[in-house]
Chain A
Amino acid sequence: MKAVLPFLCAYAVLAQDAPPVPAPAATEWLTGTADFGYRWRTDVAGSFDTYRSVVNLGEGPKLFGADFTIVDPSKRFFDRLAVNGIGWGGDPYTTAHAAADKERIYRFTFDYRNIAYFDATPSFANPLLGNGVFLNQQSFDTRRRMAGFELELRPGSRLVPYLHYTRDSDHGTGVTDFVSNSSNSYPVANFLRSHTDNYRGGVRIELNRFHATLEQGGTVFKDDERVTEATRNNGNASRPFLGETLHLDTLLQAYGIRGAGPYTKAQVTASPLSWIDFYGQFLYSMQHTDVNYTQSNTGEFVNLSSLLFYSAEQNLLAGAARQPHTSGSMGVEVRPLRRLRIVENWTTDRLHTASSLQVAGSTQRLVDNYNQQSVDVIFDLTSKITLRGGDRYVWGDTTAPAFYGLAPEFGTLKRHAGVAGIAFRPAARLSANFDFEGGSADRFYYRTSLQDYRKYRARARYQALPSLSVTWNLTILSNDNPIPSVLYTFSSHDDGLSLLWTPKGGKRLSLLGEYSRTSVESNILYVLPQTFTSARSFYRENAHQASGLLDFVLPNIRSRAAHVSVGGALYTAAGTRPTSFYQPLAKLSLPVAKHADWVSEWRWYGFAEPVFSLEGFRTTQLSTGLRVTR
């Protein structure tokens, strides 16, 4: 109570100090908000690595978010410039976005993101977890940066040239495995550094009933990953192999990978008559990769095929891969009657990879040919009911590379599916959609591919009161593969309900709540290699997810409203991997000046996995700062 008292006093003082209501300003040349302050975090109880893998928010001064818009009355360099960003000050995700335009001259956008990928969850890949030994294999601490811009010239004219550039880069460290053969594997340091540049430019030709886009572009890729070890490493094998202790003393693996891929794209849309629309697209790309790989390692290793032990190894490999990719689609929408629409679409996608490595017999070829034809008939039964029915046929073939002298794998795909749906809009306050898709495949690639499947989807929205709206979703998917050696059954059920309640227009109270339930079941046979007997793989998941925010509007301070919000999110799942993740929060926003609010937020994170109890964590965060608005 003592802690609350000063706050109440401060609130009372602020509430009495309300100045007169300011007159509405004329159109401002600068508008926007900036949210800045400080975040504290308590010590993380439990696994700090898992905390960083899931949440990863740290302490310190932060620019939580900012956005501003400048409207230049003189329209000299731009008409409008809008900039926004979040997470500056060391947060694991930092973004910036800018957009500027000048009517009929240009339109420019810039986007930047810097996202941290920390991933160290021993249950993911640590073979010794059950022994209580925690190595950190397959863990990474990297940052991925994406930056790019797009410039469009003369928007709104008949000819619109444009340029686009993006760069995606990844760098950081990690722990991966060096595997000399299946007799032992060694967790070793991994240094990751790669980037991809994407350039494209083209012209859009825009006429009243016809349009074409012609684009030329390309990618350039570079990957300089390194894997090193400088001290003795006994690896994961806990026992000697034929009396010899296998170990790694030194290692240097260097991947020098360079890639590039020019491409050409064309797109056409046309409405030659009022009752017909046509569209088509064609893309051809030729990606290629050149590889120079160096590996030298010393220690004690074994060649399993000859059972010879050796102490040093060196590999210098050069390889290349070429991937021509041709993709095309065309479609037409015909409206022969006012209430009837027929949509027909054809797609083909042909991707081939031919590759070779400087090792005998390593020439590889992957072929993937995919085709799809679909027709949808949509009929407006009444102004409030629309019916839909159609057919989708998918076919293709693929050839997978040969494996150690065996014949290449070859698969074919043939699947027919029927679709049906109804959209029902009995009143402006109520709308509902029901969709069904059911299919059967004569040929399919994988044991888990869609074979005999049914998918149901329903969605409804009801505005019960002017202040209360409810949305409901349902998705059900079931798929079976009855082949005796597979006996695969899969089913998933997903339904969700959301509610938005804003009594009296949310002047005093508003509530946004969402609840969703998910269940997944998957059963499939596989063979135990030691005994060649069948075993069954089960996967079960029954999850509940909820989130909500209850916002109270407090009496005005300085003629502006103060807010208190409470809510958060929870996730709890039972089944093969029980998990719970709770994120309650509370927010307080108090006006402290004409254009400033004092904003504070409290959050608690609690993550628990009963099967992997050492991966749980709990922590509390408190952030406070100012929101300045203009």
Chain B
Amino acid sequence: MLASVLLLLASRLAAQTPAPSGPATYAGSDACKVCHEEIVGKFAANPHHLIETSKKRGREGPKEGWAGKTCEACHGPASNHTESAEAKDIRNPAKLAPAATDQLCLGCHLNQPAQAGRIQSGHARSQVACVSCHSIHKTPEELKPTKAAAVNEKCASCHVSVWAQFQRPYTHKLPQNAMSCVDCHNPHGRNMTSTVRMTAASGEPACLNCHGDKRGPFVFEHEPMRTDGCTACHEPHGSSHPRMLTRNDARVTCLECHSNIGIPKPGQNGVLGGAPPAFHNLQSQRFQACVTCHVKVHGSNVDRTFLR
């Protein structure tokens, strides 16, 4: 009985499935236009239109290039889809697993500096596909937003807590759209654990793109600037403390490292910054704001104690 039921079901399923038409071949963009006229029409204004005439053809492109087959550069050979008009017969990158979508995009874009770190990025690890941020068929601005407001809105839609920090009083001017997240971060990632963008000139944090006077090199360096970067003392996403400090005032920020404990033995843990002992009376108001006197705290060219 069971066998006959299964046989019946199988025969019904077989009857519903169209006969296989063999491996799909390229059908050409004109065939796509028959049903998807609006998308194909708008695509002419899209930067990906360049695929049509580009000599680059990615990993899987035909030897003769993509001329006349632009749609299939991403969607794959479409002959079966044009015959059946079934969604299952065409590749839809937006519905693939994120890693598969990425591979498709990186087929061409891995070969570009901005995306070279993609496979190492947090977005890739967290399965956030390229199409999560980029609307492939739409206008150039929707494909790759250039206005700060559009970029910030896109990032904030996922990074809720980070965006909330910009509601604090002392922040970079992102809510005012004078800056955008991508001024400091490369959302495509880089070959380090952080997405913080690096300066082209010296591979240092992107903070120095605007704060060039902090770049140095200084005759007298403040070590955390080189080992830990600006975030050792500053909270760039926003702080309730002046100068975006991580602590309520400069004294507390400084004392967390400058413990006033004598020099430990070389190589001992936590050695840097513990020396030398300072004999300022920390209970006196005069010595409660370190940067009042140590004005060149980012590095000095004249004085080892950063007084000038």
Asked whether, in the complex, the Cβ of B261 is within 8 Å of the Cβ of A277, the reply is no
Asked whether, in the complex, the Cβ of B55 is within 8 Å of the Cβ of A380, the reply is no
Inter-chain CA distance A177–B297, complex, in Å, is 13
Chain A neighbourhood of B223, CB < 8 A: 366, 368, 398, 400, 409, 445
CB contacts under 8 Å to A, within B206-239, are: 209-210, 212-213, 215-221, 223-224, 226-228, 232
Inter-chain CA distance A109–B114, complex, in Å, is 16
- With A198-B200, A223-B213, A265-B200 already in contact, the answer to whether A156 and B219 are too (CB < 8 A) is no
Asked whether, in the complex, the Cβ of B227 is within 8 Å of the Cβ of A281, the reply is no
Tell me how far the C-beta of A151 lies from the nearest C-beta in chain B, rounded to whole angstroms. Answer: 15
Contact of B269 among A333, A353, A444, A530 (CB under 8 A): A444
For the residues of B in contact with A, the DSSP-based class is: loop
A279 interface residue (CB < 8 Å to B): yes
B184 interface residue (CB < 8 Å to A): no
- With A179-B307, A237-B286, A473-B159 already in contact, the answer to whether A126 and B292 are too (CB < 8 A) is yes
CB contacts under 8 Å to B, within A512-541, are: 514-516, 518, 522, 524-530, 537, 539, 541
B28 interface residue (CB < 8 Å to A): no
Tell me how far the C-beta of A141 lies from the nearest C-beta in chain B, rounded to whole angstroms. Answer: 15
Asked whether, in the complex, the Cβ of A529 is within 8 Å of the Cβ of B279, the reply is yes
Chain A neighbourhood of B216, CB < 8 A: 259, 287, 289, 321, 323, 353
Tell me how far the C-beta of A398 lies from the nearest C-beta in chain B, rounded to whole angstroms. Answer: 6
B288 interface residue (CB < 8 Å to A): yes
Asked whether, in the complex, the Cβ of B217 is within 8 Å of the Cβ of A537, the reply is no
Chain B neighbourhood of A459, CB < 8 A: 126, 158
Chain A neighbourhood of B141, CB < 8 A: 82
Chain A neighbourhood of B263, CB < 8 A: 406-407, 409
Asked whether, in the complex, the Cβ of B304 is within 8 Å of the Cβ of A362, the reply is yes
Asked whether, in the complex, the Cβ of A185 is within 8 Å of the Cβ of B160, the reply is no
Chain A neighbourhood of B249, CB < 8 A: 123-124, 577
Q: Name the CB-closest residue of B to A325.
A: B202
Chain A neighbourhood of B25, CB < 8 A: none
Chain A neighbourhood of B126, CB < 8 A: 421, 423, 433, 435, 459
Total A-B pairs in contact (CB under 8 Å)? 463
Contact of B295 among A123, A138, A366, A545 (CB under 8 A): A138
Contact of B168 among A236, A259, A581 (CB under 8 A): A581
Asked whether, in the complex, the Cβ of A283 is within 8 Å of the Cβ of B119, the reply is no
- With A195-B212, A527-B259 already in contact, the answer to whether A138 and B291 are too (CB < 8 A) is yes
- With A208-B59, A406-B276, A581-B169 already in contact, the answer to whether A289 and B106 are too (CB < 8 A) is no
Inter-chain CA distance A494–B213, complex, in Å, is 33
For the residues of A in contact with B, the DSSP-based class is: strand
Tell me how far the C-beta of B48 lies from the nearest C-beta in chain A, rounded to whole angstroms. Answer: 10
B35 interface residue (CB < 8 Å to A): no
Q: Name the CB-closest residue of B to A55.
A: B169
- With A97-B146, A113-B178, A475-B161 already in contact, the answer to whether A372 and B192 are too (CB < 8 A) is yes
Asked whether, in the complex, the Cβ of A404 is within 8 Å of the Cβ of B113, the reply is no
The contact string, 1 if C-beta is below 8 Å from chain B, for chain A 81-120, is: 0101011000011110101000110000000010100010
Asked whether, in the complex, the Cβ of A54 is within 8 Å of the Cβ of B170, the reply is yes
| Max chain B Cβ within 10 angstroms of own Cβ: one of A93, A497, A577 | A577
A127 interface residue (CB < 8 Å to B): yes
A257 interface residue (CB < 8 Å to B): yes
B23 interface residue (CB < 8 Å to A): no
What 3 A-B pairs have minimum CB-CB distances, sorted nearest first? A196-B212, A516-B164, A93-B178
What are 29 inter-chain pairs, A to B, with CB distance below 8 A? A82-B141, A124-B242, A127-B285, A158-B55, A164-B200, A196-B213, A204-B113, A208-B59, A211-B110, A211-B112, A219-B201, A261-B202, A269-B116, A274-B59, A285-B202, A287-B216, A331-B191, A355-B221, A357-B220, A370-B227, A372-B192, A398-B227, A411-B272, A425-B127, A472-B160, A526-B261, A528-B260, A539-B247, A577-B248
